[in-house]
A = this chain, B = another copy of it.
Amino acid sequence: MSSPANTARLLISCPDRPGIVAAVSQFLYQHGANILDSRQHSTDPHGGTFFMRMVFHLNGLDLSRPQFEKAFGAVAQTFQMTWRVAYADQLKRMAILVSRYDHCLLELLWRWRSGEFAVDIPLVVSNHPDLRELTELFGLTYLHLPLSPERKAEQEAELLAQLAGRVDFIVLARYMQLLSPAFVARYPQQIINIHHSFLPAFVGASPYQQAYARGVKLIGATAHYVTDTLDDGPIIEQDVTRVSHRHTIRDLVQLGREIERTVLARAVAAHLEDRVLVFENKTVVF
């Protein structure tokens, strides 16, 4: 469901009221922008919030991109829209933060190299040196920023400096470190984390141990945007797999890796294709 090169995606949220679809589609039609795909959602048609994602061709557009955005701004104002437009040919820039686990990193790198992810990866950052070789095999830059309790703030400052201006969003591919509220505030709804449980079950540390102790019959993983509250941000994607009494904690960890990487990859794909809108700590994933 990825969109072709010469297309743009328009994302809108605004108070619901009659005429929004008509106004937007009329505007696009008048300017030669042929709609390829359109999805909308209303939380409540009476006084709720309206969300829309439209993919359109740029071929016939009679305006330059800045002109288009300026002209659409006028329409948007009428409806008090929060909106953004993204162009398929302007790749998003993604930083990947990892610790020592390689499965999520490898999954992202493979999806990138195989062409599934249209993304630039300016750098991979880790508090450990372990995954340098793997990263460099894919021809990417690996930045090792060691961590110690006494220099946590410094390390984060260094990290921020390295990312500034180079990336649009950040993926925590089992990074295993908490980010400070100040850091999170710099990338609102732009940090994707993979948590190795079916949230809100098993928040916090050692979810597989928790799952084993509780004797659940399914284990899961959750990809979500990071907020200031641990494991509480808007959920983008979740999935589960079946387990039984036969599985040791080590087996759960191993089975969990399959789910973690798949769930994370789907969430990153949705983010890259501008299919995610956030509201009230939840997501609309078109």
- Decide: A110 and B114 in contact? CB cutoff 8 A: no
- Asked if A199 is at the interface of the complex by the 8 Å CB criterion, the answer is yes
* A45 located at the interface, meaning its Cβ lies under 8 Å from any Cβ of chain B in the complex: yes
A213 to chain B minimum Cβ distance, whole angstroms, is 8
Chain A contacts with B in 16-66, Cβ cutoff 8 A: 18-19, 21-22, 25-26, 28-29, 32, 34-42, 45, 57, 60
Per-residue 0/1 for A107-143: is the Cβ within 8 Å of any B Cβ (1 yes, 0 no)?
0001000101000000000000000000001000000
B40/A37 in contact, CB under 8 A: yes
Given A18-B34, A245-B41, check contact A237 B217 (CB 8 Å).
Answer: yes
One of B110, B214, B217, B281 near A103 (C-beta < 8 A): B110
Tell me how far the C-beta of A212 lies from the nearest C-beta in chain B, rounded to whole angstroms: 9
> What is the distance, in angstroms, from A210's C-beta to the closest C-beta of chain B?
8
Cβ–Cβ contact B283 & A215, under 8 A: yes
Assembly CA distance A144 to B215 (angstroms): 35
Interface residues of A in 234-286 (CB under 8 A from B): 234-240, 244-247, 251, 254, 257-258, 262, 280-285
Q: Which residues on B sit within 8 Å (CB–CB) of A102?
A: 110, 114
Given contacts A21-B21, A40-B37, contact A245 B284 (CB under 8 A): yes
Q: Is the CB of B244 within 8 A of A215?
A: no
Q: Does chain B have a CB within 8 A of A230?
A: no
In the assembly, what is the distance between CA of A86 and CA of B251, in Å?
21
| Chain B residues near A137 (CB-CB < 8 A) | 137
What residue of chain B has the Cβ atom nearest to residue A250's Cβ? B2
Residues from chain B with Cβ under 8 Å of A40 in the complex: 35, 37-38
Known contacts A25-B25, A38-B21, A39-B39; A216/B245 CB under 8 A: no
Inter-subunit contact A32/B18 (CB<8 Å)? yes
10 nearest A-B pairs in the assembled complex, by CB-CB distance = A215-B282, A22-B29, A22-B25, A201-B201, A21-B25, A217-B238, A245-B284, A18-B34, A22-B26, A19-B29
